[in-house]
Amino acid sequence: MSGDDVRILFMGTPEIAAATLNALAAHDGVRVIGAVTQPDRKKGRGMRFVPSEVKTLATELGIPVFQPETLKDGAFAETLSSLDPDLIIVTAYGKILPPYIIDYPRFGCVNAHASILPKYRGAAPINRAVMDGERETGVTAMYMDEGLDTGDIILTLTTPIGDDDTAGTVHDRLAVLAGDAMCRVADMTRAGCVPRTPQPAEGATYAAKITKEDCFIDFTKTAREVRDLIRGLSPFPGAVTTLPSGRLLKVTRASIFQERKGVPGEVVGTDGAIRVACADGSVDFTEVIPEGKGRMDAASFVRGRGVSAGDVLGA
């Protein structure tokens, strides 16, 4: 289809998806004919209906927005036929797409997944990669099929994960890469030369959705494992421990201290940070969110007598 604009129907919901939509909308040779996103959801203390980041951006760009409550049983088929897209691009839409949507476009249905497939298929690839101490991640553009992130790969763009990275900083870089990847897919589609490589069976892993249980810090693990858990859950939903009072303390930033003193979970120092013993060393909490309060540096929490040397956390 060289020379013609690719008519794209975009499907996505959160911030990383909005970044992809923004890149596509500004890209030459692309016409975004609609944006499908999740219905407005109640959020915040007032429980007001809040639009998704994709809806907000699409409205600003003048792109028609569609918010079906369900895609099952052909519920979106009539609208899909009226839009008649050449290509569907998906980034973190949040629902499983039925076959009638995946199979509709003549150039396929392509997903931007935030990992180097086949590793970290599933719901929480960014969090899990950082939590596991991975040194690299990326975005994979893949054709969608009925499996969970199992489709043929078109291309992969990568980024390193540094010791100071959090899930938040990695997310922001991947948001840029996702837009870049999908613009490249659009260019390949216009040129009529989109590669597809089946995913290898070896090396596949699953990135399960983060649960409350995942968020609790286990100080019997190594200092590196504890530090990686904290940064992999930062800024949201946050790694959590309990204070001697029983109140919760979220930890959003931490570093490793090699020397170990005390039993796992014991606060062994409070000079500028909250130093807590682990299995093979200690971690220094440098930023925390006490229950019912806002984010603060650990030194301020210590000055407020929120914790003292000798306390045992997570008991």
Percent pLDDT > 70 in the chain is 99
Alpha-carbon span 282 to 271, nearest angstrom: 14
Query: Domain 6-206, what fold?
Result: Rossmann fold (3.40.50)
* Of 147, 106, 115, nearest in space to 9 by CA: 106
Alpha-carbon Rg for the chain in angstroms: 22
Over residues 196-234, the pLDDT tens digits come to 999 998 999 999 999 999 999 999 999 999 999 999 999
Q: Name the 3-class secondary structure at 279.
A: coil
Q: Name the 3-class secondary structure at 173.
A: helix
Report phi then psi at 216, rounded to 5. Answer: -80, 130
- 140, containing H or E segment: strand 136-143
Inform me whether the pLDDT recorded for 4 exceeds 90: no
Candidates 2.40.30.30, 3.10.25.10, 3.40.50.1010, 3.90.110.10; CATH matching 212-303 = 3.10.25.10
**Taking residues 289-304, what's their average pLDDT?**
95
Task: Give CA separation, 278 vs 32, 130, 196, 256, 307, in Å.
Answer: 51, 19, 46, 10, 17
For 84-222, where are the alpha helices, taking DSSP H only? 99-102, 125-131, 167-191, 212-215
Over residues 50-82, the pLDDT tens digits come to 999 999 999 999 999 999 999 999 999 999 999
Domain locations in the chain? Answer: 6-206, 212-303
